[in-house]
Amino acid sequence: MQASPQFRDGLFRNPSNTSMGVKKGHRLEVGREYFFGKAVRRPPRPLAALDPRFTWARPTETGFRATWLGHSTVLLEMDGLRVLTDPVWSARISPFGLLAPKRFQPVPVRVKDLPRLDAIVISHDHFDHLDHGTILQLAPLGVPFVTPLGVGKYLQAWGVPAAQIRELDWWESLTLGDLTLTATPSQHFSGRVGGRNATLWASFVIQSPKRKVFFSGDTALTPQFEEVGKRLGPFDLVMGEVGGFHEAWDHVHMGPHNALEAHRMLGGGLFMPVHWGTFNLALHAWDWPAETLYSIASERAVDLVLPPLGVAFEPDRRLPLEPWWREGVAATTAEPLRPSATPSGVAGAGASPTADAVG
């Protein structure tokens, strides 16, 4: 770990030596917004959510399918391989009880109802990406966890065998059968309770024999995305963070405008936003990321998809671009949410329902 070019003077650092926290000159503004801002930061009711198990039980028609399960949790199905990104099922994130951010609505499927997985990708150690309660449910499955440097210590402490953990530095790759995962640069920081930047953060490129996906994790806009696009692109799907943004911390988060610029730097492809619509982590309205993307994507000629929660869609066939979050009704023909038993043909994974997951 200490041999990493990103590790200097005892900590991991961004190449630009980006500071952490609120930028100088913005503290008063942030305080005013926090206490007196009028933005509606939680939806008035749970968002529309569909049960994906019925779609998962059927083979893909194109060999490529994605399901947004909330925040940065996505199930990717690529040429018969399945990868789960930043799995978070807990009702609240962080160990601070009722003070911790609470989900807008439950994940539309339980951990135990996930199909068989080939890899789990963790982008960094923040509570809304590395969730203790969820890891406890996933640990017994024998699935490889792929993380940036240093993150594996948490997984081992929570019961994941060391043999299931693969830590990567930026630009390092891991091959698991026909699946290749490459840790790529991002501009962010790390830390849970206590010190910061003792572990690395990363974006990831996920590649099957015929498909490539870019997953941003948490990041600000960085010129390194140009290099990622040149070395590893083009991508069939770009999953970029768009929520939790403020100009006071645009050095560690992108927001929708910079996410579309990152998408351009990476070489384009279908863009799917993540890191929104699940937790109140900033000062903007809960739907601001989606509304902003919906309004500017066409003028920027961006191929955009905004799937409702739990909709398992095939990127080659797109989805109608509709503001489903406004009415709470998903514009899709997928099966409605059904809290029934697991349908035949879908393998179980774990033991506890969503409501039992704790951070």
Tell me, yes or no, whether 357 lies in a domain: no
Tell me, yes or no, whether 4 lies in a domain: no
Average pLDDT along the chain: 89
Residue of 203, 199, 197 whose CA lies nearest to 221: 203
Tell me, yes or no, whether 119 lies in a domain: yes
Q: Are strands 81-85 and 203-207 parallel, antiparallel or unpaired?
A: unpaired
Tens of pLDDT, residues 275-317? 999 999 999 999 999 999 999 998 898 999 999 999 999 999 9
Tell me, yes or no, whether 227 lies in a domain: yes
Query: How far apart are the C-alpha atoms of 117 and 224, rounded to whole Å?
Result: 30
The pLDDT of residue 352 is above 60 = no
Tell me, yes or no, whether 39 lies in a domain: yes
pLDDT of residue 55: 97
Q: How far is CA 89 from the centre of its chain?
A: 12
* Confidence band of 21 (pLDDT split at 50, 70, 90): confident
Query: What is the total count of domains within the chain?
Result: 1
pLDDT of residue 348: 31
Enter the tokens of residue 244.
Answer: 């939790």
Section 244-263 average pLDDT: 92
Three-state DSSP class for residue 225: helix
Tell me, yes or no, whether 17 lies in a domain: no
Report the CATH number at residue 309.
3.60.15.10
Q: pTM to 2 decimals?
A: 0.89
Lowest pLDDT segment from 91-95, 131-135, 178-182 = 91-95
Tell me, yes or no, whether 353 lies in a domain: no
Enter the tokens of residue 147.
Answer: 């993380």
Tell me, yes or no, whether 346 lies in a domain: no
Q: Which residue has tokens 């997951």?
A: 357
Lowest pLDDT segment from 59-73, 76-90, 143-157, 187-201 = 187-201
* Confidence band of 40 (pLDDT split at 50, 70, 90): very high
Residues 6+ apart with CB under 8 A from 56: 67, 75, 77, 115, 312, 346
Q: Are strands 237-241 and 212-215 parallel, antiparallel or unpaired?
A: parallel
Alpha helices, DSSP H, located in the chain? 27-36, 53-56, 132-138, 152-157, 224-232, 255-266, 288-296, 324-327
Please give the residue range of the domain that contains residue 116.
Answer: 33-339
The pLDDT of residue 54 is above 90 = yes
The pLDDT of residue 244 is above 60 = yes
The pLDDT of residue 350 is above 60 = no
The pLDDT of residue 358 is above 80 = no
Q: How far is CA 61 from CA 77, 115, 191, 196, 245, in A?
A: 11, 17, 41, 44, 36
* Confidence band of 121 (pLDDT split at 50, 70, 90): very high
pLDDT of residue 43: 95
The pLDDT of residue 356 is above 50 = no
pLDDT of residue 41: 92
